[in-house]
Amino acid sequence: MYIKNTMKKSIKLAALFVAATTMMVACNGDKEGFKKTDNGLYYRFDKQNKDGQQVQEGDVLVGELTIKFDTTVIFTNKGEARRIAQATPNYEIKIGEGLLMMHVGDVATFAMDADTAAKYVDPNYMPANYKAGTGQKLYYEISLQDIVTSEEIAQERANFTNSMEERKASEAEDIANYIQANNITVKPTADGLYVIVKKRGNGAKVAMGKEVSVNYTGRLLDGTIFDSSVESDARSGEIYNPQRKYEPMTYVVGRDKLIEGWEKGVMDQPAGTVLQLVIPSALAYGSRQASPVILPYSPLVFDIEIVSVK
């Protein structure tokens, strides 16, 4: 649910490996053909292109990553090349050392002691058959297809920062245009929240400690649905799940932390009420990027039906 502050963090550009920190797995024994660096990294090149561009510290690798457990593929983006790692040397983790050995066009496999990973990974994410001190290893197969240089990354970040500053500067005007276009006549609260009651219920009122069930749909100002308990077309990237069961969301006021604008807008409203909230980013996610579509300084619109209050 994107209204909850406990939602997953969006994927960051500088993540060492896509999903690797939650999908690390162990494999028994060493594969044939591996060499070992002075720092203890096992590596094998299945294809080398020494004339290709070489990875430098801070560069981001674009290509395919496969993580295996024995012959079982645990994670792969094969056939869908994307940014998979940043070359940041760390001689405890050691994988960064291997990345710096690669050229565009290389295909390589790196092996790391599972015991090392166990120091940094929650025990619940280690495989059930992991046994400390037995020499088990993690294997990463990488096909490097392109490099985004550290200078290009720095420029991307600068451009993103500038873009977000523009969003921040235009937010008030964007909200005003939305209010005018939708003929909303209610006045905002002192902190800019619009609470538009479309139907007033007569049930128990939302209050601290109460269990509240709601149907809701969350949208951006342009109408993009980012989450919903009733809309099956909420398809903004990874949040869409065709197997999802659409049903009211239930939470306890004060226990389950929601965004501030939602909490303020729904508080004291009786069951049976149907309302719309127009929430400025300061009462939502502010300068944080909450999802692939909820960028920093995004005002949010929620259509809410309070089904029950207990």
> Could you tell me the two tokens for 83?
């940014």
> pLDDT higher for 78 or 116?
78
Distance CA 29, CA 135 (A): 7
pLDDT of residue 122: 76
**What is the predicted pLDDT for the residue at 67?**
82
Backbone torsion region of residue 268, taken as left when φ is above 0, otherwise alpha when ψ lies between -120 and 50, otherwise beta: left
Residues 125 and 179 in one domain: no
Q: What is the pLDDT of residue 238?
A: 36
Question: How sure is the predictor about 7, in pLDDT bands with cuts at 50, 70 and 90?
Answer: very low
Evaluate if residue 293 carries a pLDDT over 80.
yes
- Please tell me whether residues 53 and 115 are part of one structural domain: yes
Count of the separate structural domains present in the chain? 2
Please indicate, yes or no, if residue 3 is contained in any of the structural domains.
Answer: no
pLDDT grade, residue 118 (50/70/90)?
confident
Give 128: exposed, middle or buried? Use CB within 10 Å, 0-12, 13-18, 19+. exposed
Query: Are residues 108 and 95 in contact, defined by beta-carbon separation less than 8 angstroms?
Result: no
The verdict on residue 153 lying in a domain is no
75: domain CATH number is: 3.10.50.40
**Sorting pLDDT into bands at 50, 70 and 90, what band is 119?**
confident
Same domain, 105 and 26: yes
Out of 93, 113, 148, pick the residue that ends a domain. Answer: 148
Between CA 182 and CA 205 the distance in angstroms is 28
**pLDDT of 39-60, one tens digit each?**
888 899 999 999 999 999 999 9
The pTM of this model reads: 0.63
- Give the pLDDT confidence score for residue 40 in this predicted structure: 80
Report the pLDDT value the prediction gives residue 252, as an integer from 0 to 100.
Answer: 97
Please give the residue range of the domain that contains residue 78.
20-148
Domain match, 199 and 110 both = no
Query: How do residues 169-220 score in pLDDT, each as one tens digit?
Result: 999 999 999 999 999 999 999 999 999 999 999 999 999 999 999 999 999 9
Lowest-confidence region among 112-121, 214-223, 256-265: 112-121
- Give residue 243's pLDDT: 52
Question: What are the C-alpha distances in Å from 70 to residues 25, 27, 30, 44, 102?
Answer: 9, 5, 11, 16, 24
